């Protein structure tokens, strides 16, 4: 696969997975709109800029591998209970982090939520369910803006090529997302899910870096 297709396919998969989740969170009244929209509004233009940024194959793969390794390491950090004073400080810090996360999301095709959620937990920004809802919205909007930038950079013909190549992947992530949601609710504890996700993310990131 042409490496330029990878972020387009990845962002399309993001949209396929998080759209339903974002709607469910919103309808359930879980999304903390004020904080979530503030983070997303800062990150989205940066995601568009990241999608527009030209990047060579080697640099792309190095950044993607390093990003995945960092995300895996962040997932291993312990979660903290929400603290009102710490949450306010964390909220200000996360506003500063939103733009770099958005830019990285648009550049390499990661929605940004895999970085955002551990940092929100670390800063005790809000409750776990509110953080999950915020990360879902963050991924949805950043993926839309990043995809727009990628298509503007490489041509909108990329969308057809990515859809043809990535259709089985999009179907797989939708099915896998539903199975994962079921497991998360009925079988697996949140800590185990974080460990499994961290292990997979670190493995893929390390494979990319070793192959560069």
53-80 pLDDT per residue, tens: 999 989 989 998 998 898 888 888 776 6
Mean pLDDT of the chain: 85
Share of the chain above pLDDT 70, in %: 92
How far apart (Å, rounded) are the C-alpha atoms in residues 33 and 105?
21
Share of the chain above pLDDT 90, in %: 28
The DSSP secondary structure of 123-179, one letter per residue, reads: TT-S-HHHHHHHHHHHHHHHHHHHHHHHHHHH-THHHHHHHHHHHHHHHHHHHHHHH
Whether the per-residue pLDDT at 82 is higher than 60: the answer is no
Say if residues 135 and 30 touch (Cβ distance below 8 Å). Answer: no
pLDDT of residue 6: 87
For residue 170, how many C-alpha atoms fall within 13 Å in the half-sphere facing its CB?
18
The predicted-structure confidence for 116-157, as pLDDT tens digits, reads as follows 888 888 888 888 888 888 999 999 999 999 999 999 998 888
pLDDT of residue 89: 60
Buried b (16+ CB within 10 A) or exposed e, 71-96: bbebbeeebeebeeeebeebbeebee
pLDDT of residue 75: 82
> pTM for this structure?
0.83
Residues in the chain: 212
Q: CB pairs under 8 A, 24+ apart, for 184-192? A: 190/79, 190/128
Q: Name the nearest CA neighbour of 94 among 51, 43, 31.
A: 43
User: Which residue is associated with the tokens 């964390």?
Assistant: 90
pLDDT of residue 81: 61
pLDDT of residue 182: 73
Least confident range from 133-147, 164-178, 197-211: namely 164-178
Say if residues 36 and 133 touch (Cβ distance below 8 Å). Answer: yes
Q: Where are the chain's structural domains?
A: 5-211
Query: Token pair of 181, please?
Result: 């949601």
> Which residues does 193 contact at the CB level (< 8 Å), separation at least 6?
183, 184
């Amino acid at each position: 696969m042409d490496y330029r297709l990878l972020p387009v396919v990845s962002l399309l998969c993001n949209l396929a997975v998080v759209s339903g989740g974002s709607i469910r969170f919103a309808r359930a009244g879980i999304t903390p709109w004020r904080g979530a929209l503030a983070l997303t509004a800062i990150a989205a233009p940066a995601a568009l800029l990241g999608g527009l940024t030209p990047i060579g194959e080697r640099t792309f793969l190095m950044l993607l591998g390093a990003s995945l390794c960092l995300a895996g390491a962040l997932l291993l950090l312990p979660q903290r209970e929400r603290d009102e004073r710490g949450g306010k400080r964390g909220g200000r810090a996360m506003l500063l982090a939103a733009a770099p996360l958005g830019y990285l999301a648009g550049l390499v095709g990661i929605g940004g939520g895999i970085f955002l959620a551990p940092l929100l937990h670390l800063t005790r920004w809000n409750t776990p369910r509110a953080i999950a809802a915020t990360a879902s919205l963050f991924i949805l909007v950043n993926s839309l803006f990043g995809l727009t930038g990628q298509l503007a950079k490489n041509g909108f013909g990329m969308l057809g090529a990515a859809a043809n190549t990535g259709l089985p992947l999009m179907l797989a992530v939708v099915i896998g997302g539903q199975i994962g949601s079921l497991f998360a609710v009925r079988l697996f504890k949140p800590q185990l899910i974080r460990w499994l996700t961290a292990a997979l993310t670190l493995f893929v990131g390390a494979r990319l870096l070793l192959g560069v």
